[in-house]
Amino acid sequence: MRKAILTKQKDCQRFTIPTENDWEPLAEYLASRLKPGDAVALSGPLGAGKTTFVQHLARALGVKKIPSSPTFALMRSYSIPGRRQLKRLLHVDAYRIDDERDILALDLDDELSDGRAALVLEWPEHVPRWIKKRASVWSLEIRGEPISRLRRPAAPGVEGRKGGP
Ligand SMILES: Nc1ncnc2c1ncn2[C@@H]1O[C@H](COP(=O)(O)OP(=O)(O)O)[C@@H](O)[C@H]1O
Ligand SMILES: [Mg+2]
């Protein structure tokens, strides 16, 4: 079960998201408050549901296309047809950004200052100085039960089992 904590300045809301279909209340909550120039910093381990949340947020905003993970493209932009001010949702996944200067190449500060776009950012921990400088940042922290994986034992190869008892 995922627990999400959404904060902006002193405003702090907690949501429990039992399954991947239960993001809607949180998505609606944020969609009704998100303004042009806002950034949403999405924290949580791999597989926490960050991209899934972006999909629900996009739907709540009226975006027609379902966002996919921008891990390789770094950034994707979605048009919001139905709102007066907020016209674009930018989705960035900073997972692959090792050098913080790489985020500058995306011109996000310019994109966010035209009064029409808001940003959702996965892995804000990879660009801490950039996010610290932004004026209006929501923080969404998604935490889940520890994920345990059961791995099948490797089938014995021609060389036989290695490292076995
Ligand atoms: N609230 C939830 N409870 C259980 N599983 C979820 C939940 N939200 C998303 N998932 C599932 O977790 C997996 C990883 O989600 P994803 O959004 O890609 O994570 P992230 O972007 O944080 O790495 C997906 O298979 C998704 O369907
Ligand atoms: Mg993701």
Q: Please give the helix or strand (H or E) that residue 74 lies within, else none.
A: none
pLDDT band at 163 (very low <50, low <70, confident <90, very high): very low
pLDDT tens track for 97-140: 999 999 999 999 999 999 999 999 999 999 999 999 999 999 99
Instruction: Give me the mean pLDDT over the 27-31 stretch.
Output: 95
Burial tier of 24 (Cβ tally within 10 Å: 0-12, 13-18, 19+): middle
Q: Whole-prediction pTM value?
A: 0.86
Closest C-alpha residue for ligand 1 atom 16: 49
Please provide the DSSP assignment of 99-161 as one string: SGGGGGGGTHHHHHTSSSEEEEEE-GGGSHHHHHH-SSEEEEEEE-SPP--PPPPPPP-TT--
Q: Structural domain boundaries of the chain? A: 2-143
Which atom of ligand 1 is closest in space to residue 52's alpha carbon? 17
Q: What is the mean pLDDT of the chain?
A: 88
Measured in Å, residue 95 CA sits from the centre of ligand 2 at: 8
- Does the domain spanning 2-143 belong to CATH 3.40.50.300? yes
pLDDT band at 144 (very low <50, low <70, confident <90, very high): confident
